Amino acid sequence: ESLLGQKNELLFKFLVIGDFGVGKTSIIKRYAEGTFSSVYKMTIGADFAIKSLMVDENTLVHLQLWDIAGNERFGSLTRVYYKYAVAAAIVFDLSRPETYHSVKKWLSDLRRKVTLQNEEPLPVVILANKGDVNYCNIPNEIVDFCKEQKILNWFITSAKENTNIEAAFECLLQAALHNH
Ligand code: GDP
Ligand code: MG
């Protein structure tokens, strides 16, 4: 038993990946700290935030939310970065359609480099972020894409207005708990 008295304490590593400027850092900030800033601050190096939550009266989960922090331009990450991850959110920007095309690239990099111990694919959600701004359309093949690629779900999110951020992480959390 830990100091806080709960019986179980779990640590889950979650990745947040996607192109530069889509809102990864903002999403992590929103979820972990409850804040949003429109002033752009570039993230450099490996970076993560922790969000701790009770999932039942005996279990405290620490979500380690990894930000890819400046490695976006390479379009791929090292295996070390992916190591021990149990779930991932792939983010694109609804106002920049080219960032949706990159979702496929990020997913294939992830699928190539990480599988769970039970050989199952890593649980993934897709976040169509900046849902608060005017955007042309939602890529209509996203539903089929998610089905084909075994993506758990996709969400229109806004880090700015705090829309669907919790729902998306909750989906990953449930999958991680299920696989645990
Ligand atoms: P990253 O490069 O993927 O980490 O993107 P950032 O989180 O740094 O966000 C890039 C820019 O988009 C910043 O100016 C943010 O304030 C802005 N941004 C992020 N999320 C949202 C959102 O949901 N809505 C709006 N309107 N702007 C956002
Ligand atoms: Mg960032």
User: Which residue has a Cα nearest atom 9 of ligand 1?
Assistant: 23
Atom number of ligand 1 nearest to Cα 157: 23
Nearest to 61 by CA among 86, 90, 88, 26: 86
- pLDDT at residue 118, as a whole number: 84
Q: What is the pTM of this model?
A: 0.92
Query: How far is it, in rounded angstroms, from Cα 26 to Cα 80?
Result: 24
Query: How far is it, in rounded angstroms, from Cα 109 to Cα 160?
Result: 28
Testing ligand 1's pocket by substitution, the residue of 26, 91, 106 carrying the most ligand atoms inside 8 A of its CB is 26
Find the 180 Cα to ligand 1 centroid distance in Å: 32
- Strand duo 59-67 + 47-56: pairing: antiparallel
Query: How far is it, in rounded angstroms, from Cα 149 to Cα 111?
Result: 10
Q: Which ligand is nearest to the CA of 43?
A: 2
Which residues line the pocket of ligand 1, CB cutoff 6 A? 20-26, 38, 40, 43, 129-130, 132-133, 158-160
Find the 171 Cα to ligand 1 centroid distance in Å: 22
Query: How far is it, in rounded angstroms, from Cα 125 to Cα 153?
Result: 5
Here the tokens at position 166 are: 């919790």
- pLDDT at residue 33, as a whole number: 87
- pLDDT at residue 147, as a whole number: 95
Atom number of ligand 1 nearest to Cα 72: 2
**ipTM score:** 0.99
Q: What does residue 174 show for φ and ψ, rounded to 5 degrees?
A: -60, -40
- pLDDT at residue 139, as a whole number: 75
Alpha carbon 123 to its chain centroid, in Å, reads: 10
Question: Mean pLDDT per 10-residue run, the chain (180 residues)?
Answer: 71 95 94 80 66 94 87 76 94 94 94 88 97 83 95 97 98 96
CB 67 within 8 A of CB 47: yes
